[in-house]
Chain A
């Protein structure tokens, strides 16, 4: 009987242990606050990697998401009594509230999360993190803090870009394949638009950004083993980041809407 439950119990305990170590890493990031000013330049480098270099993929993803949601909204609202401008309302609201932050962050969990975990994981297995410590540097302040700060600042910016291009995608699809002109689309968008919806999406981006960067740093920083260990950390960071996005998405919706 004991052996039947041994594996799941062990797995649950190791999950708690992992969560505890993650919390300790976050506590240590805050503990290293006295070193933060030294690493603001590193944060700027990370903002370029996390933010600026992600703009093309964010534009591409959000534009197509907007196009698809416009076509699907039209398909579902196919009725003579529903005015065409409702498509604009639906696309605008779904983009601002859900699609722009969630789809963008899921894509970025793959791009940014994997990059961070692989980079820090490689540094761990090649003893570069030990080397940082041996030359009296605090590796958490030097490696983790700049990445989490960059995520905190840049993800909301990327969400704003995703909002703009998502809605533009919706307008484009409506105009080219649904026979709804820009005026009608924007009329619908404005009818249901509330500024809080845009703020809500930005708050989501901020939370997801911190979650993705901190989870990826955690898996990268505590990588064990060689190349296989780096691969495992990278996979775990992407999977756990995606789950965290979904979980936070629900929590934020329940709390803020």
Chain B
């Protein structure tokens, strides 16, 4: 289980997160939504300690990760993968090495097993036979799928997605959502996705958390979100002021 307890975060004098508290149970698929600049990605980066709160606690598996040493934090990260907004693939490494570097650091597999795992995870995102290419050879959509492939290769317990469909055309958006659903169906993974895409909220998430003015203004199911009478939520869903 992951628990956020009274999280505060600010940059310079601007409050980004104010007294944020919630719990995420094993196997849940949570979508974090809100307008641009509301601190969704900042919140996501608190899950794996890429950002630390100014005050409050982030608890993963009963461990307060913002109080852990770097080496203990690394052991928590071995069960947690993140898919970045634009893939964040390492330019100097081939696709195969991009996945291998994660396997080398997070698993104790033998060399042959690692090779198989690379092929298996690329196959899962329908990108077989591209392992010799470099990130610059791929399109935006392919980079995101390789990013997902790298994330699932270590078979994590928690999968964090940071705006996985941003900047993609509707066809590639559909592919990514289909892939996310497939991963969720095949594996017992707890997923957290930061998104603007209501299709992800409705088709993928089992729970929605909405941020506004540094606070949580909605926490419920997608169905409850869609039937909400709240003026702000309605305007967010309809895309009108």
Residues B86 and A127 in contact, CB atoms below 8 Å apart:
yes
Interface residues of A in 128-143 (CB under 8 A from B): 128, 130-138
Q: A136-B78, A138-B70 are in contact. Are A126 and B86 (CB under 8 A)?
A: yes
Residues A135 and B101 in contact, CB atoms below 8 Å apart:
yes
User: How far is B48's CA from A126's CA once the two chains are assembled, in angstroms?
Assistant: 18
Chain B residues near A123 (CB, 8 Å)? 90-91
Chain A residues near B82 (CB, 8 Å)? 130-131, 134
Chain B residues near A135 (CB, 8 Å)? 77, 81, 101-102, 105-106, 150, 154
Chain B residues near A127 (CB, 8 Å)? 84-86, 88
Residues B85 and A136 in contact, CB atoms below 8 Å apart:
no
User: Cβ of B45 < 8 Å from any Cβ of A?
Assistant: yes
Nearest opposing residue in chain A for B47, CB measure: A134
User: How far is B101's CA from A138's CA once the two chains are assembled, in angstroms?
Assistant: 12
User: How far is B124's CA from A38's CA once the two chains are assembled, in angstroms?
Assistant: 30
User: Cβ of B74 < 8 Å from any Cβ of A?
Assistant: yes
Chain A residues near B133 (CB, 8 Å)? none
Provide the main secondary structure of the chain B interface: mixed
Contact pick for A128, options B90, B106, B154, CB 8 Å: B90
> Which of A123, A134, A135, A137 gathers most chain B CB within 10 Å?
A135
User: How far is B74's CA from A137's CA once the two chains are assembled, in angstroms?
Assistant: 8
User: Cβ of B138 < 8 Å from any Cβ of A?
Assistant: no
Residues A134 and B77 in contact, CB atoms below 8 Å apart:
yes
A interface footprint on B100-113 (CB within 8 Å = 1, 0 otherwise): 01100110000000
Interface residues of B in 58-102 (CB under 8 A from A): 70, 74-75, 77-78, 80-82, 84-86, 88-91, 101-102
Chain B residues near A132 (CB, 8 Å)? 90
Nearest opposing residue in chain A for B50, CB measure: A130
Residues B105 and A130 in contact, CB atoms below 8 Å apart:
no
User: How far is B48's CA from A132's CA once the two chains are assembled, in angstroms?
Assistant: 12
User: How far is B86's CA from A131's CA once the two chains are assembled, in angstroms?
Assistant: 11
Nearest opposing residue in chain B for A138, CB measure: B70
Chain A residues near B86 (CB, 8 Å)? 126-127
Residues B74 and A128 in contact, CB atoms below 8 Å apart:
no
Nearest opposing residue in chain B for A34, CB measure: B71
Q: A126-B86, A127-B88, A128-B91 are in contact. Are A134 and B48 (CB under 8 A)?
A: yes
Interface residues of B in 9-48 (CB under 8 A from A): 45, 48
Residues A131 and B106 in contact, CB atoms below 8 Å apart:
no
Residues A130 and B88 in contact, CB atoms below 8 Å apart:
yes
Chain B residues near A136 (CB, 8 Å)? 74-75, 77-78, 105-106
Nearest opposing residue in chain A for B105, CB measure: A136
* A21 CB to nearest B CB, Å: 16
Residues B78 and A131 in contact, CB atoms below 8 Å apart:
no
> Which of A126, A131, A137, A138 gathers most chain B CB within 10 Å?
A131
* A162 CB to nearest B CB, Å: 29
* A53 CB to nearest B CB, Å: 15
Nearest opposing residue in chain A for B85, CB measure: A127
Residues A133 and B50 in contact, CB atoms below 8 Å apart:
yes
* B172 CB to nearest A CB, Å: 19
User: How far is B101's CA from A123's CA once the two chains are assembled, in angstroms?
Assistant: 16
Chain A residues near B77 (CB, 8 Å)? 133-136
Q: A133-B50, A136-B78 are in contact. Are A126 and B88 (CB under 8 A)?
A: yes
Chain B residues near A128 (CB, 8 Å)? 88-91
* A188 CB to nearest B CB, Å: 49
Mind listing 10 A-B residue pairs with CB under 8 Å?
Answer: A123-B91, A128-B91, A131-B84, A133-B50, A134-B77, A135-B106, A135-B150, A136-B74, A136-B77, A136-B78
Which B residues fall within an 8 A CB radius of A?
A: 45, 48, 50, 70, 74-75, 77-78, 80-82, 84-86, 88-91, 101-102, 105-106, 150, 154
Q: List the 5 closest A-B pairs by CB distance, nearest first.
A: A131-B88, A127-B88, A135-B102, A136-B74, A134-B82
Known: A122-B91, A128-B91, A135-B105. 5 other contacts (CB 8 A): A127-B88, A130-B50, A131-B88, A133-B50, A133-B77
